[in-house]
Structure 1
Amino acid sequence: MKYIKKIIVWGLLSLFIQFVGFFYINNYYLTKGTGNMKIKKVEKKEEKKKDIDIDIPEGVKNITVSFNGKYVAYYDEKGIDVINTITGDRKKVQAEKGAEINNYTWLSNQSRMLIGEKISANNGGTTLKLTYYDAGKDEKGEISDTQGNLVNLAKLNKDASIKDISISTFTNTTYVKSQQAGNRCTLYRVNIMHEISKVEAKSYLIGNIKALPREDNLLYEDLTYKKIYSTEMKNPIEIPGLKSPTILGVDDNDLVYLGDKDEDKIKKIFYGKLKDSAESWKKIDMDLGVDKEDIYISNSGQIYINNNLKGTIKEAISDKEITYEGKFLHMYEGGIVSISQGKLVKTKVE
């Protein structure tokens, strides 16, 4: 028993000596001479890559930008040129065999575009169809339904063409406006299954179209009676104080933005949700009037006004101004695209 007690005592004594030794080393020996030492965190800074120079030829049509500004596109009689604004890589997107490109539009949340193509038959007829191009994958293809059948919108007269494409990104529904002689228009709906149906519109003379992102609902302009209709409403949209309406845009929350035209200038902007009462819509007065083409509605709901003479973009509600170089071309989420001395310029909007 005494032997066991001795072992325990010596063991405790050994632990005590070790503890005292570690305490001295940690608090006195290792800290000796370090009283004036300062610790500074060093972070390696990586240089941000600048977008390279992109040449834009004169006279090209329909210059557009992908939602994030990574790609810029324009088209000529040979097809659509798609340029990566970061690397400078260029791709030529051509129509399917025997077809020509009428129209194209970027998706609002992907680097992907839908393309309207026209196939002219020997008998004088025309077939309208949709194809797609994914810029990130450099992939072009035709759109088919669940049975593998290619999606052709309609067979019309030879003068028919696709004039506009609008996409409801959250419902995967696409609306297409075709036009024939006499400006007679037809609307088509392509659902998530790529099934096609004709929209029973209230007018044959149709102006701008715009699909709501979160609802399967299309806004379109009746040019005959200067009304705006929704495919989900029987009567035209009527807002107090809005006399000559035109569609300016929609945002990701399904807020609708309408302009009031007066002698080809937008003098007022009204915005609200279709489900809300007309009296609850908000209004912004534009004292001097603005060209419709100079108004941009962002996906997040900012209203920007372009001033070509000053080279500025102003946020309508906050009056914040952003200066850009050269001639304004387009806006994307978080930036402005302009052209200066034949070069593409991207300016951040913060």
Structure 2
Amino acid sequence: MKKIRILILWTLFALVIQNIILFSINNKYFGKDLKVKTVKLNENNKLTKEKELVLSKKAKEVKTSFNGRFISYIEDDKLKVFDTRTGKTNIVASEKAMNIEYYKWLINDNSFILVEKNSNAANKKYFDFYSYDARNDVKRELLNFDMKKFRIDCYDKKETIGDIVFSKDSNVMYIKTNKGNSLNDVYMVNIMNEFKKVKSSAQTINKMAVLPGGTELVYQQKNMIKSLHKEKSIDVTKDGLLLGIDDSQKLYLAKLVNNKVVKVLRGDFNTPREKWESFSLEKPQEAKNILIIPEGKIVSINDEEGCLMDVIGNKKLNYKGKFLSLYDKGVISIEGEKIIKTPESN
């Protein structure tokens, strides 16, 4: 009993000392001179109300940044960028004697790559490359490791930029040019800003994508899906088209009937074709209306019914007008000339 009483007394003593220390700290650092203001959050003000954009009928090449903050378009040969937070429109000026040839927003960034082509008919044609930071309204010339500008000399005056694909993991970029007669060149820009041609006068290169987590280019050439540096290929004579690649490096192929997609097949270079997964569509769709989401979703666009269908999850998202693009919270569409954002409900 004596030991128990001693234990109780020491416990009480410790509690008293603890309260004295806390009282001292409170008075020294949080005394009467400190004023604390309680702020009540207004649920309606958590998100700033966005500014609306109504395009003119002359607007073309309408595109959006990954989070939907910026809407870009070409109007009267000028590239314009609208900020939905501020309502401000910036004009991305072309260089002297240059015209806008192509532009594409980066993955997970409010910047895009811009390509310009010289307009002087007497000179040999070429493409120059720039980046544009929409948040800061800054255009920069792309330079290589030797501080020389990225420039592609055109095969002829009619040569165009066919596509640009990026890797969000390795800062690699591939550029496809259309030379006419179904011939394509492909250029690679690596993390060291080295610029080189990796395919020359290749016959009919269609869809391109970079394998996530690396630098390897996968592309469709006629009826074959190929890997640029690896001796791997897939015959798609019976299946049709490469639709895309997800973050787990799964390839998605379109099964076509009467030039429309009826099924989507999912697999990889190492899996036998008979073991690939197959997903049927509710109704046949054009290949351009099938989107592959990096997380492994297949989305079917239906403008007639105004809805997106998650083919695997069987979920539907309704929207107004004509589909424009996806953004990180849902879908962006155009109704009339008005830009509309429809967030996905949780």
Is TM (by shorter chain) over 0.5? Answer: yes
The answer to whether residue 166 in structure 2 is matched with residue 167 in structure 1 is yes
CA-CA distance at 1:124 after TM superposition: 4.6
- Flag structure 2 segments of 5+ consecutive residues without an equivalent: 1-12, 17-37
* Equivalent position of 1:45 in the other structure: 42
SS of residue matched to 2:202: coil
State which of 224, 229, 236 in structure 1 corresponds to 2:226: 229
Of 94-103 and 131-140, deviating more is 94-103
CA shift, 1:284, in A, is 0.7
Tell me: CA distance 1:250–1:103, structure 2 relative to 1, closer, same or farther (3 Å).
same
Question: Matched residues in 2 for 1:185 and 1:124: separation?
Answer: 22
Aligned counterpart, 1:296: 291
* Cα distance change, pair 122–344 in 1 and its aligned pair in 2 (3 A): closer
After TM superposition, give the deviation of residue 293 of structure 1 in Å: 2.0
Q: How far has the Cα of 1:182 moved from its partner?
A: 2.2
5 Å-filtered alignment, 1:138-217, equals 138-200=137-199, 203-217=202-216
Q: Distance in 2 between matches of 1:306 and 1:177?
A: 26
Give the Cα–Cα distance (whole angstroms) in 2 for the partners of residues 275 and 97 of structure 1. Answer: 50
Aligned mates of 1:210, 1:231 — CA distance in 2: 11
Q: Secondary structure of the residue that 1:293 maps to in structure 2?
A: helix
Q: 1:81 & 1:205 partners in 2: Cα distance?
A: 32
Pick the aligned partner of 2:238 from 243, 262, 286.
243
Distance 2:274 2:76 in 1: 48
Does the 8 A contact of 2:232 with 2:269 survive in 1? Answer: no
Of residues 179-188 and 100-109 in structure 1, the stretch that sits farther from structure 2 once superposed is 179-188
Alignment of 1:300-339 (within 5 A): 300-339=295-334
Native 8 Å contact 2:184 2:200 kept in 1: no
The verdict on how the C-alpha distance between 1:146 and 1:203 changes in structure 2, with shifts beyond 3 A counting, is: closer
Summarize deviations over 1:189-239 as a string: whole Å, max 9, x none.
11112212112369322222222232212222223xx22222133343247
Letter in 2 for 1:341: G
The whole-number CA distance in structure 1 between the counterparts of 2:117 and 2:287 is 29
* Whole-Å separation in 2 of the counterparts to 1:122 and 1:293: 35
**122 and 320 in structure 1: CA distance in 2 versus 1, 3 angstrom threshold:** closer
Separation in structure 1 between the aligned mates of residue 288 and residue 299 of structure 2, nearest angstrom: 11
Amino acid aligned to 2:228: T
CA distance in 1, matches of 2:244, 2:322: 22
The residue type paired with residue 188 of structure 2 is R
How far apart are the structure 1 equivalents of 2:41 and 2:189? 51
CA distance in 2, matches of 1:110, 1:319: 29
Question: Amino acid of the residue matched to residue 64 of structure 1?
Answer: K
2:342 corresponds in structure 1 to: 347
Q: Percent identity?
A: 28
Highest Rg: 1 or 2? 1
Q: Report what 2:7 is aligned to.
A: none
- Superposed, 1:244-259 pairs within 5 Å as 244-259=239-254
Q: Quickly say closer, same or farther: Cα 1:196–1:77, change in 2 above 3 A.
A: farther
Counterpart of 2:289 in structure 1: which amino acid? D
Shift of 1:301: 2.3
Q: 1:103 to 1:299 in 2, by over 3 A?
A: same
Structure 1: which amino acid aligns with 2:159?
A
Question: What amino acid is aligned across from residue 233 of structure 1 in structure 2?
Answer: K
Q: Which moved more, 1:314-323 or 1:67-76?
A: 67-76
Would you say the 8 A contact 2:204–2:221 is kept in 1?
yes
3-state SS in 1 of match to 2:323: strand
- Give the one of 256, 259, 264 matched to 1:261: 256
- Give 2:32's aligned residue: none
Cα distance in 2 between the residues matched to 1:273 and 1:86: 41
In structure 1, the residue matched to 2:84 is 85
Distance 1:324 1:303, change over 3 A: same
Cα distance in 2 for residues equivalent to 1:81 and 1:298: 27
Change (3 A) 1:157 1:282: same
Structure 1 Cα separation of the partners of residues 279 and 86 of structure 2? 40
2:127 match: 128
